[in-house]
Structure 1
Amino acid sequence: MALRSSYHFPQELIFEILSYLPVKSLLRFCSVCKSWLSIISDQQFIDTHLTNSQKKPATLVLDNDFDNVYVDTREESVRLHVPPQRNGRARWMCSCNGIVCLTEQYGNVMYLWNPWTNHQLSKLCSPKGRGDWDESAFMFVYDSTCNDYKLLRLTFCVLHTYYYPPDRDYIANGLVADLYSSKNGNFKEINVPDNVKNIEVRTNSKCFHDLKTGVLYFEGSAAMVFEAVDGSVLSLWTLDDVCDDKVAWTKKFNIEADVKINCVFLHLGVGQFVAKNDDGHIFYDYKKKDVKKLLSPAPVGQFNSVVKYTESLVSLEVFQGFELLT
């Protein structure tokens, strides 16, 4: 008579192993048994899995035609299939904890989407539409102090534009800020400091050409990348102290590689950035000083948004005010 072997793994060990697996695998494993389904559905597991996923940086790429969205890592590029319930093309994209926010051209309509757990979109229309000539920018964050997701929309209301070739200047006047909270489910206008309400942007200034990035979040500090006066090297600087009218910047390191890097888009963590050279978008590791081309097949000129991305099991149900589209 053959002896049957029986193995019992502690729930804590199963929890730990599963927390390192991709979301796609976890969704399949929900059907293995009731105990696995219970583990994967638990909020503590969802939080632990998210923490582990954040150690594996990736980028999300949106092309101008919005026909394709790609998740890019150093090893592969995966095309995501966006649900078709949108009214129009998306212009901007941001992401937080695996949730992707897509906004239409003027930022008045927003969609939320988790590419791995749900093939539906949630839609929210801003109560205060902005004009066709206004420009909007978005920031999507999670506030751990109150367990709340927040979406900030900054709208630059264009007052007038000057065209004096070969220079091109424009003045944006009347900065407006709207803040969405997932707990109360709506946008509310928040105060903008008087000293930044009127913003003048001169695109022909020397400072504009020296600046080779937007504002980055680097190891707990705001950071920017500047080019040396002679164009020989790019350097990353962090904003370490702001006191009254005095601002202190600290140089951290030079951007060095075997190929010339033109600009830097974002910091992924673990020493990696997304940058751009003459051949396209690249991953840059400042510790190893090596580069690798993004594998996304989208043409370089058609990249509309490149953002940091982490896959997760976070549900859209926590976002009050959004309407689930079917």
Structure 2
Amino acid sequence: MRSCNGLVCLSNQGCDSICIWNPCTRQYKMLSVPSYANRAVTCLGFGFDYVGNDYKILRIVTKIAQDLRGLIVKICKPEALLYSANADTWKKIRIPDTIKISFWYSVKRFCGPDICGKLYWEGEGGLLPFDLRNDVFGEIVVLPFPNHVQQKRIKKSEILNFEGSLAMVYKSAGDESDLSLWMLDEGGLWIKKFILEMDLELDQVYLYLGAEHFVGLNLFFGYKFYNYRKKMTKELPFPAHLTDVKSVAKFTESLVSLEGFESQE
């Protein structure tokens, strides 16, 4: 799902089986996750509280009520639970009443990367920040191009951590050359940083690796590295037997070991 300081958070499709894993030390920990009897939409976030020196997982569950025909009759207010690696427990987090139910029903299953101690959830028309230090939600940040003007701009990326700032890539509809990176400044304004000129266009940009390189996907030619200074793409060398890539995450080697880790067989 996401990598942070050398630890990788893994989950199944329903986000009700979660594992924290260190590939370098070959240690892991399966988490005990609260279960729900009814159908639910579940989302996950993973980050690090630098002040409290604590790895945290935020799990948001939106219950859905259905009739006998399987049709949705009610979308309940979501519940948020936060896991602390230090405490090894889950606790409830208050969700502001001002956030509409429609936001939660449209929210992405995995939130964006940890950016300066905050996680960002992408839903209908905006991004919702969560402060990992104080364990509170902030105010929704409106996307650079709201829904009513989406015909002019098409979102082409996940939430990106670009040199410590939140960024997203958009494309001008009808203009094949205008694939541009927009960055959120400290004042909450979106600024067009630069145009991504490339020899092979990426249909989706997944993350910024640093050192001028992005990772993205071309639907015909697969996953690619892209250097925005040199304006060139090159193949991402997956082993030949990996034919079904589920996700791509930025990973930095570390020897971090959490309480309760077990050795991988």
**Fold agreement, TM-score > 0.5:** yes
For 1:122, give the aligned amino acid. Answer: K
In structure 1, how many angstroms separate the alpha carbons of the residues matched to 2:38 and 2:248?
Answer: 24
Which among 281, 288, 299 is matched to residue 223 of structure 2? 281
Q: Which residue of 2 aligns with 1:100?
A: 8
Other structure's SS at 1:174 match = coil
Distance 1:291 1:185, change over 3 A: same
Cα drift, residue 236 of structure 1: 0.8
How many residues are aligned here? 213
Cα drift, residue 241 of structure 1: 4.4
Segments of structure 2 that go 5 or more residues without pairing to the other structure are 67-73, 107-123, 125-146
Cα drift, residue 325 of structure 1: 7.8
Farther off after superposition, 208-217 or 94-103: 208-217
Which among 60, 66, 70 is matched to residue 154 of structure 1? 60
In structure 1, how many angstroms separate the alpha carbons of the residues matched to 2:189 and 2:9?
Answer: 34
Spell out, residue by residue over 1:131-166, the C-alpha distance to the aligned partner (whole angstroms, 9 max, x if none): 574333322222221211111223344467xxxxxx
Distance 1:266 1:133, change over 3 A: farther
Q: Which residue of 1 aligns with 2:28?
A: 121
Higher relative contact order (CA 8 A, sep 6+): 1
Spell out, residue by residue over 1:66-96, the C-alpha distance to the aligned partner (whole angstroms, 9 max, x if none): xxxxxxxxxxxxxxxxxxxxxxxxxxx2211
Which among 251, 255, 258 is matched to residue 309 of structure 1? 251
So what's the TM-score if we normalise by structure 1? 0.58
Q: CA RMSD in A?
A: 2.9
So what's the TM-score if we normalise by structure 2? 0.70
Q: Which residue of 1 aligns with 2:40?
A: 134
User: After the TM superposition, which segments of 4 or more aligned residues of structure 1 sit over 4 Å from their partners?
Assistant: 322-326
Other structure's SS at 2:61 match = strand
Farther off after superposition, 178-187 or 108-117: 108-117
For 1:236, give the aligned amino acid. Answer: L
Question: CA contact under 8 A between 2:216 and 2:226: conserved in structure 1?
Answer: yes
Question: CA contact under 8 A between 1:148 and 1:182: conserved in structure 2?
Answer: yes
User: Does 2:92 correspond to 1:189?
Assistant: yes
Distance 1:116 1:325, change over 3 A: closer
Question: CA contact under 8 A between 1:100 and 1:113: conserved in structure 2?
Answer: yes
Cα drift, residue 294 of structure 1: 1.2
Q: Which residue of 1 aligns with 2:233?
A: 291
Instruction: Compare CA radii of gyration and give the structure with the larger one.
Output: 1
For 1:137, give the aligned amino acid. Answer: C
For 1:186, give the aligned amino acid. Answer: T
Cα drift, residue 261 of structure 1: 1.6
In structure 1, how many angstroms separate the alpha carbons of the residues matched to 2:39 and 2:181?
Answer: 33
Segments of structure 1 that go 5 or more residues without pairing to the other structure are 1-92, 161-170
Other structure's SS at 2:184 match = strand
Among all aligned residue pairs of Structure 1 and Structure 2, give the percentage whose two residues are the same amino acid: 38
User: Does 2:179 correspond to 1:237?
Assistant: no
Larger helix proportion of the pair: 1
Which among 146, 150, 153 is matched to residue 207 of structure 1? 150
User: Does 2:205 correspond to 1:264?
Assistant: yes
For 2:179, give the aligned amino acid. Answer: L
Distance 1:176 1:215, change over 3 A: farther
In structure 1, how many angstroms separate the alpha carbons of the residues matched to 2:197 and 2:25?
Answer: 39
Question: CA contact under 8 A between 2:39 and 2:65: conserved in structure 1?
Answer: no
For 1:138, give the aligned amino acid. Answer: L
Question: CA contact under 8 A between 1:139 and 1:151: conserved in structure 2?
Answer: yes
Distance 1:132 1:150, change over 3 A: same
Q: Which residue of 2 aligns with 1:143?
A: 49
- Map residues 53-68 of structure 1 onto 2, 5 A cutoff: none
